């Protein structure tokens, strides 16, 4: 049994190197399939990060009446922070509101003149609310309908942004769905490509397989070297894909950071999920290789 | 050694390859099975190696009834019969040494034993100096001799040769037949399937003529008369 096992291993490597160009082509096809899967992962991660980046820019402001004290505003802030749908509530004091206003209208001397005329700060404090999800703003604002809160509030800018927020929510849902569908299609295509590449490789060996059977080899003795080659192909394909992918990630990372205007790091993402991503790819490649080899060889061992 | 008992083989839908065929081959005998293409000669070989199963009748090889042989037993049968094919069926990416060794490796023979046996067998067929060559580096006659070496290496009691000279010129054909005769002299039962009239008439051994899946004549020191 041990002798036969060593022979199977020897035959697997022998066949790999003696059919070098066939091995090279098969390996290349596997690498391309895995590379496309990794591109898909990158696209998926970037799309999700872009959506998060856009969602992070969405917020609504609640403006309080100028007569409302800081304590009252901070009470409302604490109340809102206790709501599960709320991600963050930032307090803008009256003074900060005035500074922000002046900075926003610094190129409009008439408005600045008007402020000087008024002498006192006409603006009230405000709270900038970020929700965990864009579809939850309506729910959050409903919590402020209570007269104990609504009497303190002068205005909210949600109605101005409602249409935009709804549109962004719809688009992100469609993007997520679209990414899922594309991922599914790509994965199926990759599986089919690997499956057919292995089948074609086995097809070129069909005469040899039949000859081995006619000489008295068992099905296991014929199959095992090809199955082992499938494992070798999978291992090499994953390693080479890693070698290609990481420099590519390093190259695109600065552009992605610029595009998303965030601290998103695709290299770090792959590092953190290295075992999961490449482990799954390795297992997936092995399973597809073994199944396709087994099925393809089956036709020719029936001699 | 080989006993065909009323063997019938029909290929779907209604091609009768063999019909009620009965004959025996004795140990150490040299039998030429002749007939035109489509007579059923190769089907006989396939039944002997369990590539095909007869639809009726019994087939006994070396005392073993292989009519309903199990799938798991087929490799064991094939290790006891040496077969030489018209298209050689050598493994193209293995050297001659490795091709011949393969027949022993499937049996689990140790590497040391293989190293000792192969050179002796290759010497018999005249290929000792070319053991490290690949099939594509040899002539047709040399490839067939390598195939014969592979068929002989596990010392089978029976050697089947299915049109072994079909792809060879007359000089190489003569060499192959001479080799088969030499192997027969060592005590191996040889069954040669061929449609080469001149070769059969030169051998002057038993000739079984088949046509339409049936035996037409069976003569000791026979001739192949068309």
Tens-place pLDDT, residues B90-116: 999 999 999 999 999 999 999 999 999
- The two beta strands, B206-211 and B30-34, are parallel
Is B105 an interface residue toward A (CB < 8 Å)? yes
Q: Give yes or no: residues A45 and A174 share one domain.
A: yes
In a domain, A162, yes or no: no
Residue B194, SS3?
strand
Considering only CB atoms, A217 lies closest to which of B90, B94, B106, namely B106
Can you give the pLDDT of all 303 residues of chain A as single tens digits? 788 899 999 999 999 999 999 999 999 999 999 999 999 889 888 888 888 877 777 888 888 888 888 898 889 899 989 989 898 899 998 888 888 888 888 888 888 788 777 777 778 888 998 888 877 888 888 888 888 888 888 888 766 667 777 777 788 788 888 888 888 888 898 889 888 888 888 999 999 999 999 999 999 999 999 999 999 999 999 999 999 999 999 999 998 888 777 778 999 999 999 999 999 999 999 999 999 999 999 989 888
Judgement on whether residues A114 and A220 belong to the same structural domain of the protein: no
Q: Do A264 and A137 have their domain in common?
A: no
Chain A environment of B78 (Cβ under 8 Å) = 213-216
B192 located within any domain: yes
Q: Which residues of chain A neighbour B85 with C-beta distances below 8 Å?
A: 214
pLDDT at A131: 86
Give the structural domain span for A183.
Answer: 2-54+169-298
Question: Does B145 have pLDDT greater than 70?
Answer: yes
Same domain, A285 and A191: yes
pLDDT (tens digit, 9 = 90+) per residue, B14-70? 889 999 999 899 999 999 999 888 888 999 999 999 999 999 999 999 899 999 999
Q: Considering A118, A151, A184, which residue would you say is the last residue of a domain? A: A151
| DSSP code at position A120 | S
Q: Which of A102, A118, A151 is the last residue in one of the domains?
A: A151
Domain count, chain B: 1
Q: Which of A151, A185, A218 is the last residue of a domain?
A: A151
Is B151 buried (19+), middle (13-18) or exposed (0-12) by CB count in 10 A?
buried
Any domain includes A16: yes
CA dist A79 → A62, A72, A73, A149, A154 (Å): 13, 11, 10, 10, 18
The 8 Å CB, 24+ separation contacts for B165-172 are B165/B194, B165/B196, B165/B199, B166/B86, B166/B194, B167/B86, B167/B87, B167/B88, B167/B140, B168/B140, B168/B141, B168/B144, B169/B140, B169/B141, B171/B141, B172/B139, B172/B140, B172/B141, B172/B144
C-alpha to C-alpha distance for B87 and A151, rounded to whole angstroms: 98
| H/E run at residue B160 | strand B158-162
Half-sphere exposure of B146 (CA within 13 A, CB side): 32
When CB atoms are compared, the residue of B78, B93, B111 closest to A216 is B78
For residue B93, the distance in angstroms to the closest alpha carbon of chain A comes to: 6
Statement to judge: residues A241 and A268 lie in one domain: yes
Cα(A45)–Cα(A43) distance, integer angstroms: 6
> CB-side exposure of B41: number of CA atoms within 13 Å?
28
Is position A123 within any domain?
yes
Question: d(Cα A123, Cα A101) in Å, to the nearest integer?
Answer: 9
Q: What is the pLDDT of residue B101?
A: 96
pLDDT at residue A214 in the model: 93
Evaluate whether residue B183 is within a structural domain.
Answer: yes
- Is residue A104 located within the same domain as residue A243? no
**Residue B124 is assigned to a structural domain of this protein:** no
Domain annotation covers residue A292: yes
Angle (CA) B40 B43 B45, round 5°: 120
- CB nearest A214 (choices: B76, B78, B110): B78
Residue B206: helix, strand or coil by DSSP? strand
- Using CA atoms, how far residue B186 sits from A32, B28, B117, in Å, is 58, 8, 17
Number of domains in chain A: 2
Q: Are residues A291 and A174 in the same domain?
A: yes
Distance from CA of A3 to the nearest CA of B (A): 7
Residues of B with Cβ-Cβ distance to A210 under 8 angstroms: 89
Phi and psi at residue A214, to the nearest 5°: -70, -25
Q: What are B198's strand-pairing partners?
A: none
- Contact between B191 and B2 under an 8 Å Cβ cutoff? The reply is yes
CB of B217 within 8 Å of a chain A CB? The answer is no
Q: Where are the alpha helices (DSSP H) in A91-157?
A: 94-104, 109-118, 137-142, 147-150
* Chain B positions in Cβ-Cβ contact with residue A18 (cut-off 8 Å): 93
Q: Kindly list the residues from chain B whose CB atom is less than 8 angstroms away from the CB atom of residue A215.
A: 78, 102-103, 106, 150
Q: What is the CATH number of the domain that holds B177?
A: 3.40.50.300
The rounded distance, in Å, linking the Cα atoms of A246 and B91 is 41
The verdict on residue B87 lying in a domain is: yes
Strand, coil or helix: what is A89?
strand
Question: CB–CB of B103 and A215 under 8 A?
Answer: yes
Same domain for A175 and A246, yes or no, is: yes
Q: Please tell me the distance from the alpha carbon of residue A278 to that of residue B211, in angstroms, as a whole number.
A: 63
Whether B9 is covered by a domain: the verdict is: yes
A206–chain B Cβ distance below 8 A for any pair: no
Radius of gyration of chain A from its Cα atoms, rounded to whole angstroms: 31
| Pair (A174, A294) in one structural domain | yes
Pair (A269, A199) in one structural domain: yes
φ/ψ (deg, to 5) at A133? -140, 145
Same structural domain, A177 and A278: yes
Report the residue of B42, B69, B84, B102 to disrupt the A interface, i.e. the one with the largest count of A CBs within 10 Å. Answer: B102
Establish if B173 belongs to a structural domain. Answer: yes
Report how far residue B170's alpha carbon sits from residue B179's, in angstroms, rounded to the nearest whole number.
14
Range of the domain at B36: 2-91+155-219
Q: What is the 8-class DSSP label of residue B36? A: S
| Alpha-carbon dihedral B111, B117, B118, B121, rounded to 10 degrees | -160
Scanning every residue of chain A, which has its alpha carbon at the shortest distance from the alpha carbon of B103?
Answer: A215
pTM above 0.95, yes or no: no
CATH number at A121 reads 3.30.70
- Give the chain B residue nearest A2 (alpha carbons): B108
Whether residue A12 is found in the same domain as residue A86: no
The answer to whether B126 and B150 have CB atoms below 8 angstroms apart is no
């Amino acid at each position: 049994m041990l002798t036969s096992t060593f022979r199977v291993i020897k035959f697997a490597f022998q066949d790999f190197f003696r059919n070098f160009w066939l091995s090279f082509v098969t390996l290349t096809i596997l690498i391309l399939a895995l590379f496309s899967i990794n591109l898909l992962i990158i696209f998926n991660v970037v799309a999700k990060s872009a959506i998060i980046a856009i969602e992070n820019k969405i917020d609504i402001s609640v403006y309080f009446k100028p007569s409302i004290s800081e304590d009252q505003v901070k009470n409302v802030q604490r109340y809102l922070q206790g709501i599960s749908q709320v991600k963050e509530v930032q307090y803008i004091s009256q003074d900060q509101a005035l500074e922000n206003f002046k900075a926003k209208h610094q190129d409009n001397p008439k408005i600045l003149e008007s402020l000087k005329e008024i002498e006192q700060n006409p603006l009230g404090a405000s709270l900038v609310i970020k929700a965990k999800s864009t579809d939850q703003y309506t729910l959050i604002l409903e919590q402020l309908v209570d007269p104990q809160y609504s009497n303190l509030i002068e205005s909210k800018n949600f109605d101005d942004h409602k249409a935009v927020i709804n549109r962004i929510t719809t688009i992100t849902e469609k993007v997520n769905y679209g990414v899922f569908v594309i991922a599914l299609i790509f994965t199926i295509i990759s599986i089919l490509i690997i499956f057919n590449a292995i089948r074609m490789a086995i097809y070129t060996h069909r005469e040899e397989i039949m000859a081995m059977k006619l000489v008295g080899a068992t099905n296991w003795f014929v199959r095992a070297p090809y199955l082992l080659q499938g494992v070798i192909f999978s291992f090499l394909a994953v390693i080479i894909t890693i070698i290609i992918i990481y420099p590519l990630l390093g190259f695109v990372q600065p552009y992605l950071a610029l595009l998303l205007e965030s601290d998103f790091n695709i290299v770090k993402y792959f590092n953190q999920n290295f075992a999961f991503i490449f482990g799954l790819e390795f297992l997936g490649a092995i399973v597809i290789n073994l199944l396709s080899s087994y099925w393809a060889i089956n036709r020719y061992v029936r001699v | 050694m080989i006993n065909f008992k009323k063997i019938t083989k029909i290929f779907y839908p209604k091609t009768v390859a063999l019909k009620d065929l009965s004959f025996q081959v004795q140990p150490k005998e040299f039998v030429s099975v002749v007939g035109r293409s489509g007579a059923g000669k190769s089907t006989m070989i396939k039944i002997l190696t369990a590539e095909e199963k007869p639809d009726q009748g019994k087939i006994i090889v070396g005392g073993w009834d292989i009519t309903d042989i199990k799938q798991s037993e087929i490799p064991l049968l094939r290790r006891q019969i040496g077969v030489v094919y018209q298209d050689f069926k050598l493994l193209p990416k293995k050297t001659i040494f490795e091709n011949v060794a393969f027949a022993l490796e499937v049996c689990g023979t140790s590497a040391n034993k293989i190293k000792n046996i192969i050179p002796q067998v290759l010497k018999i067929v005249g290929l000792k100096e070319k053991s490290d060559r690949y099939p594509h580096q040899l002539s047709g006659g040399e490839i067939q001799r390598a195939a014969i070496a592979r068929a002989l290496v596990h010392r089978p009691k029976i050697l089947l040769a299915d049109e072994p000279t079909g792809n060879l010129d007359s000089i190489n054909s003569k060499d192959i037949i001479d080799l088969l005769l030499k192997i027969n002299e060592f005590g191996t039962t040889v069954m040669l399937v061929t449609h080469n009239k001149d070769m059969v008439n030169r051998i002057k051994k038993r000739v079984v003529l088949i046509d339409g899946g049936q035996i037409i004549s069976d003569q000791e020191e026979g001739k192949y008369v068309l």
